Amino acid sequence: MTRIGVLALQGDFREHMRAVERLGAEARAVRLPKDLAGLDGLIIPGGESTVMGKLMVEYQLDQPLRDAIHAGLPTWGTCAGLILLARETDNALLGQPLLAAMDIRVCRNAFGGQRESFETELDVPALGEEPLHTVFIRGPIVESVGPGVEVLARLNSPRLIAATGGFDIVAVRQGTLLGTAFHPEVTDDLRFHEYFLAIAREAGVGVS
């Protein structure tokens, strides 16, 4: 059985675990370095990226996470998780630890505060023709991507793009790394989780 870890320090990790289990895979809460052993993939959930980063350091998880990702562990970051995976963020709070795994630059809270959270439909060709209903909660935006990064989805609303200063990238993939600015785990559409599980199974890495 495919074993997917979900970083469970803070944020909506329970929703991701339920989605993984609904697809017939095993979900494991990751709180300590020992929890990384035997994983086929890892999800870093949404939440507060600053708090999550500080807790990673406190629990001595930051470097083991970097090492596991560098060794090829498929990893998916949603919202705050996307921020933590980025090599750079232009408005992080002082001392914000980043895993710096994806060659992307991200802007935190790109649409504004909690009151500016919204839902919208996105075209995601990698998931099929049917649009994906997405939920953005104090969502980030990807401002730039490196040459090895594939853009999976862009905003198609002029109003929302204007709110971010003209940036529109909201889902990216770099090899076995996946990042989404929205929260697939709070909807009933499991296609993004299926997509990530396929990446994990194809990679067949497993952390020793």
Place of tokens 């970083």: 7
- From the list 15, 16, 107, 183, the catalytic residue is 183
- From the list 15, 107, 143, 185, the catalytic residue is 185
Specify whether 185 is catalytic.
Answer: yes
Specify whether 88 is catalytic.
Answer: no
Residue 132 DSSP label:
E
Place of tokens 């709110």: 163
Q: Which residues make beta-bridge pairs with 136? A: 118
One-letter amino acid for residue 129 of the chain: E
Q: Are 121 and 133 in contact (CB under 8 A)?
A: yes
Place of tokens 């095993």: 26
Q: Provide the CB-side half-sphere exposure for 82 (13 A, CA).
A: 31
- From the list 79, 107, 143, 193, the catalytic residue is 79
Specify whether 79 is catalytic.
Answer: yes
Maximum separation of any 2 CA atoms in the chain, in Å: 47
Q: Which residues are catalytic?
A: 79, 183, 185
